[in-house]
Amino acid sequence: MEAHMASLRVTAAAVLSLLIGPLAWAQDPVVAHVGSIVRVTAPSVSPKRLTGTLDGANESFLRLSTTTGPIVIPRNAIERLEWSRGLHKPVLKRTLEGAAVLGAFGFVFGTAGHDPNEKEPLCGKRVRCAAVGAGVGAVLGLAASAFAQPQHDWADVPGVRRVRLILRPRPDGVAAALLMRW
């Protein structure tokens, strides 16, 4: 009976280790992004940021598939790793920029003196001019964003930054701290 219990314990430990092993490896934030488009900053590997598909990762290296071919990057060379959340057009950004710029122009235009020979001024009140300018700017911003190229929405992969310099002002100067982690 005792031999049967020992055998059962060994079997249970083996099954448990098989189940927990992948969960422990899944704790690595990089492994969760295998198959995603990533952007890697590793100055010792390449002076430019590398962009490609993350093909694989282990404790020591990342394997990146780029347009020029596969690249293996040592993890200790990586200063920053970002992943793409997808392609997006900056519709809201351009709409708000157009509304703000032309709204401000309309506000300034509303305060300018009008030609006394005009029968009816183009825009008589500041608020009305600002509203018209903002509306026209929003429409122009929407039109501009319709023709814009989609851009990647990059987000940092948490826990990858290796070295960070922190500067804090002090009454008698500046304090500097070097934070290193992986």
What tokens does 51 get? 């962009």
Amino acid identity of 40? V
- Going residue by residue through the chain (182 aa), what tens digit of pLDDT does each one get? 666 666 666 565 555 555 554 444 445 677 777 888 999 998 888 899 999 999 988 888 889 998 999 999 998 888 888 988 888 777 777 788 888 887 887 777 766 655 566 666 666 677 777 888 888 888 888 787 778 788 888 888 876 655 556 677 888 887 877 655 54
| Alpha-helix runs per DSSP H in the chain | 2-25, 91-111, 126-146
Count of CB atoms situated within 10 Å of the CB of 106: 22
Q: Kindly tell me the burial class for residue 171, based on how many C-beta atoms sit within 10 Å of its own C-beta (0-12, 13-18, 19 or more).
A: exposed
Q: Is the dihedral of CA 123, 125, 130, 131 positive or negative?
A: negative
The overall pTM is greater than 0.85: no
Under a CB-based contact definition with an 8 Å cutoff, are residues 56 and 180 in contact?
no
- β-partners of residue 61 are 74
For the chain, domain boundaries: 30-88+151-180, 91-146
Cα(78)–Cα(64) distance, integer angstroms: 12
